[in-house]
C-alpha cells in the first residue's frame, strides 16, 4: 500500500510555483499542539531554508480567543473565524471533542466559505467537520484510524481510504499529526520541488545513536526508511556528495542490482536514486551559497560538480535563480 493517495487530478494550487501561498487555519478547542505544529512548522522551515516567504498563514478560532490545547499551552490566533469571500485554502484542525465544535453556526460558515475557497482541508478530526457541512460528499477521504469504521458508517456516500492523507481535487484530508506532516511535505514538494521538500524533511528527523544497525534516514512522505538497503544507499550518497558514485557502483555496494535499487527507491522515496542524490548535493551547495562566502568553484567541487558552470546550470534549474542571484537577493533583504 502506498503511503498516500492522490485521487483524481490535484487542484492547480499544488502546481509548481514560487509565488507566496496564503493559508487560513481554523483551530478548534482541544486540538493537539503537535497537530498545529505539523501544519505550520514545515511551512516555516520552507521559508527559512529558501530565504523566501513562500508561505504565510493566519490562525483563527471560533470565538477569537486563544485555543486551549490539551497540553495546556494556548495557541494565539489572529481573530475569530468570520469568513467572507476569501479564496485562500482553509485548513480545519481538530483532535478531540469535535462534536462540541460542530455547531449549526460553524457548519453554515464552512458551507458558505467553501464557495470561494481554492481548497479546503480536514486535518485529523477536521474531516468530521467538513463531512458535517456536506463538503466531502462524493469525495475520497481519510480519517484517523480509530475513527475509520465509525466515519464510514456515518457517511456511506463518502469513500474512506486507508491512507495517511488523501488529496481529491479541492478537498484534502489527513489521518493524524504525522500524516499531516507528510501532507505538508508533499505540498512543498509539488510547489517548490523535491530538493526543498527533502531539506525540510531532514529537520524533523530524530536519529538515535547507531547500535549495530543502520541509522534510519529521512524520506519524503515516510519519515523513516524501513528498507535497510535503501537506507544504506542513502547513507553512502550522503558520504560521497563531493564525488558521486554511479548507480551501478552504488548498487554493488548495497548488494543488489541497479534495477532493483531503482525500484526500491521509487517504492520508498517516490523518486529515482539520481534525483535524491542530486537533491542532497544541491541542498548542501545551497547552504554553502547562503551561509558562507566560498567561491562558487569551490562549492561546485565540494558538491561533486565538474565545473562552476555545470553547478550554476543545475542550481538555476532547481531553484529558479543563479547562485549569484541568491546571494544578491539575501544581501538586499538584510539591508532592507
- 3-56: per-residue pLDDT in tens? 444 444 455 677 878 889 999 999 999 999 999 999 999 999 999 888 889 999
**CA–CA separation, 322 and 285 (whole Å):** 12
Report residue 226's pLDDT band, with 50, 70 and 90 as the boundaries: low
The average pLDDT across 121-139 equals 96
Distance CA 45, CA 204 (A): 10
Distance CA 43, CA 180 (A): 12
Could you tell me the residue ranges of all domains in the chain? 5-192, 284-335
C-beta contacts of 305-311 below 8 A and 24+ residues apart: 305/281, 311/285
Distance CA 92, CA 23 (A): 11
Arithmetic mean of pLDDT, 121-129: 96
Superfamily name and number for 284-335? Homeodomain-like (1.10.10.60)
- E-assigned strand segments in 147-289: 159-160, 165-168, 171-174
Q: How many CB atoms lie within 10 A of CB 20?
A: 11
SS3 87: coil
What CATH number was assigned to the domain covering residues 5-192? 3.40.50.880
**pLDDT of the residue at 223:** 40
Mean pLDDT of the chain: 88
On whether the CB atoms of residues 150 and 131 are closer than 8 A, the answer is no
**Is residue 159 scored above 60 in pLDDT?**
yes
- Looking at residue 311, its pLDDT comes to 95
Amino acid at each position: 500500500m502506498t503511503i498516500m493517495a492522490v485521487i483524481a487530478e490535484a487542484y492547480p494550487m499544488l502546481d509548481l510555483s514560487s509565488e507566496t501561498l496564503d493559508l487560513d487555519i481554523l483551530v478548534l478547542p482541544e486540538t493537539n499542539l503537535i497537530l498545529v505544529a505539523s501544519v505550520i512548522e514545515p511551512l516555516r522551515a520552507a521559508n527559512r531554508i529558501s530565504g523566501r516567504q513562500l508561505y504565510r498563514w493566519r490562525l483563527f478560532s471560533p470565538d477569537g480567543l486563544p485555543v486551549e490545547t490539551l497540553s495546556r499551552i494556548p495557541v494565539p490566533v489572529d481573530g475569530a473565524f468570520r469568513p467572507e469571500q476569501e479564496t485562500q485554502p482553509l485548513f480545519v484542525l481538530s483532535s478531540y471533542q469535535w462534536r462540541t465544535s460542530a455547531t449549526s453556526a460553524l457548519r453554515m460558515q464552512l458551507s458558505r466559505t467553501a464557495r470561494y475557497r481554492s481548497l479546503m482541508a480536514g486535518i485529523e478530526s477536521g474531516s468530521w467537520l467538513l463531512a458535517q457541512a456536506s463538503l466531502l460528499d462524493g469525495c475520497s477521504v481519510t480519517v484517523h484510524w480509530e475513527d475509520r469504521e465509525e466515519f464510514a458508517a456515518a457517511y456511506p456516500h463518502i469513500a474512506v481510504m486507508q491512507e495517511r492523507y488523501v488529496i481529491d481535487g479541492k478537498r484534502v484530508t489527513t489521518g493524524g499529526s504525522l500524516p499531516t506532516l507528510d501532507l505538508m511535505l508533499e505540498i512543498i514538494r509539488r510547489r517548490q520541488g523535491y530538493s526543498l521538500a527533502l531539506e525540510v524533511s531532514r529537520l524533523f528527523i530524530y536519529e538515535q545513536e547507531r547500535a549495530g544497525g543502520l541509522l534510519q534516514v529521512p524520506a519524503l512522505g515516510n519519515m523513516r526508511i524501513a528498507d535497510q538497503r535503501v537506507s544504506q544507499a542513502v547513507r553512502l550518497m550522503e558520504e560521497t556528495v563531493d564525488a558521486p558514485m554511479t548507480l551501478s557502483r552504488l548498487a554493488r555496494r548495497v548488494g543488489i542490482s541497479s534495477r532493483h535499487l531503482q525500484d526500491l527507491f521509487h517504492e520508498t522515496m517516490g523518486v529515482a536514486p539520481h534525483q535524491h542524490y542530486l537533491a542532497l548535493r544541491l541542498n548542501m551547495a545551497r547552504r554553502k551559497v547562503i551561509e558562507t562566502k566560498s567561491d562558487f568553484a569551490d562549492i561546485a567541487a565540494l558538491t561533486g560538480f565538474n565545473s562552476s558552470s555545470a553547478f550554476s546550470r543545475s542550481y538555476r534549474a532547481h531553484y529558479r535563480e543563479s547562485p549569484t542571484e541568491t546571494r544578491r537577493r539575501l544581501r538586499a533583504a538584510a539591508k532592507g
